[in-house]
């Protein structure tokens, strides 16, 4: 069965141009003028572009006694409606849970997916078993391993654990990912603001200032460099983190920073909205920043 997307404007990485697209058995086989197929889709006046890949989702994620609102079925359906045809979700082992057991749990969660998907594996603790299982995870085709420098007492790993994992990534040709926030300082600041009676959504941003992210980004970059592997810093949100990445790249280090759309369009004023539910729904880590950081991003 073949399909021709007819008369649209192709949007490629370097240019836009008028052409037809021939799809055979789910694969694009030709792009050009005057193509024919069993079925035609009129794309006149429309842009035709590749589906988006979202490399950072948390679908049906268990965390702090709750699960994220979107499961795999609804999250991927929403993505398809917006042109996202693949997501890369995070497989997160509980402390002490074998990586492959977590893999199996996420395979069950993902059965309702309506688009393509893949995983990043998270390293939430360190042991000889984790080191061994990382090779098996790579054999399954997952070559990225995320580390949380925040969420003390839950997902956070310390520098020694992270460095050991980075070294293993270097051996396997894998890429470590890092959530860069200094978890010890965040925990201390949370206690500080709670003691002052700050309990609203604004306290979330106050307890996770930009320098906390910048310090962690610098530290993660140093650890990766010493381990001999590249590093990908997820959801960078502030000037100190951006500057750390820029400095490292200027020195030829293999460092990548990831922006998320919400940090590009929302700022910290969201946390001071008079509607508490409005503000609370926008709590995420790292938090939304002052517009100065947003412009830098």
Q: Are residues 71 and 30 in the same domain?
A: no
Give me the CATH number covering residue 220: 3.20.20.140
- Per the structure, the complete domain to which residue 6 belongs is given by 2-48
The reported pLDDT for the residue numbered 26 is 85
Residue by residue, pLDDT tens for the chain (297 residues) are 899 999 999 999 899 999 999 999 989 999 999 999 999 999 999 999 989 999 999 999 987 788 888 999 999 999 999 999 999 999 999 999 999 999 999 999 999 999 999 999 999 999 999 999 999 999 999 999 999 999 999 999 999 999 999 999 999 999 999 999 999 999 999 999 999 999 999 999 999 999 999 999 999 999 999 999 999 999 999 999 999 999 999 999 999 999 999 999 999 999 999 999 999 999 999 999 999 998 888
The reported pLDDT for the residue numbered 68 is 86
The reported pLDDT for the residue numbered 65 is 81
Chain centre to alpha carbon of residue 37: 38
Q: Are residues 141 and 285 in the same domain?
A: yes
The reported pLDDT for the residue numbered 1 is 86
Q: Are residues 86 and 194 in the same domain?
A: yes
Q: pTM value?
A: 0.90
Please return the burial class of 267, using the count of CB atoms within 10 Å of its CB with bins 0-12, 13-18 and 19+. middle
Give me the CATH number covering residue 31: 2.30.40.10
Peptide bond into 286 cis (omega under 30): yes
Q: Give start and end residues of each alpha helix (H) in 41-158.
A: 72-81, 99-109, 128-139
Q: Are residues 226 and 153 in the same domain?
A: yes
Q: Are residues 26 and 140 in the same domain?
A: no
Q: Are residues 29 and 91 in the same domain?
A: no
The reported pLDDT for the residue numbered 295 is 86
Please return the burial class of 99, using the count of CB atoms within 10 Å of its CB with bins 0-12, 13-18 and 19+. buried
Q: Are residues 142 and 70 in the same domain?
A: yes
The reported pLDDT for the residue numbered 92 is 96
The reported pLDDT for the residue numbered 134 is 98
Domain count, the chain: 2
Residue 190: count of CB within 10 angstroms of its CB: 17
């Amino acid at each position: 069965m073949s399909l021709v997307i007819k008369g649209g404007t192709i949007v490629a990485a370097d240019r836009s141009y008028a052409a037809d697209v021939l799809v055979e058995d789910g694969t694009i086989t030709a792009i050009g003028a005057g193509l024919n197929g069993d079925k035609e889709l009129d794309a006149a006046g429309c842009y035709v572009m590749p589906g988006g890949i979202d490399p950072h989702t948390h679908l049906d994620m268990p965390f702090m006694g709750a699960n994220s609102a979107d499961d795999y079925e609804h999250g991927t359906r929403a993505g398809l409606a917006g042109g996202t045809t693949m997501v890369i979700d995070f497989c997160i082992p509980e402390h002490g849970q074998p990586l492959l057991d977590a893999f199996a749990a996420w395979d069950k969660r993902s059965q309702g997916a309506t688009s393509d998907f893949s995983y990043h594996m998270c390293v939430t603790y360190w042991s000889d078993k984790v080191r061994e299982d990382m090779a098996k995870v790579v054999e399954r085709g997952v070559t990225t391993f995320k580390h949380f420098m925040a969420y003390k007492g839950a997902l956070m790993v310390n520098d020694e654990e992270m460095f050991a994992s980075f070294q293993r990534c270097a051996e396997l040709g894998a890429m470590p990912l890092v959530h860069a926030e200094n978890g010890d300082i965040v925990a201390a600041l949370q206690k500080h603001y709670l003691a002052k009676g700050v309990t609203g959504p604004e306290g979330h941003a106050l307890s996770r200032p930009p320098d906390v992210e910048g310090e962690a980004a610098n530290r993660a970059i140093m650890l990766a460099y010493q381990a001999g592997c590249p590093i990908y810093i997820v959801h960078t949100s502030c000037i100190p983190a951006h500057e750390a990445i820029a400095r490292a790249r200027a020195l030829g280090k293999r460092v990548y920073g990831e922006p998320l759309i919400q940090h590009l369009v929302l700022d910290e004023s969201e946390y001071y909205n008079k509607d508490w539910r409005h503000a609370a729904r926008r709590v995420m880590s790292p938090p939304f920043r002052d517009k100065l950081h947003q412009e830098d991003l």
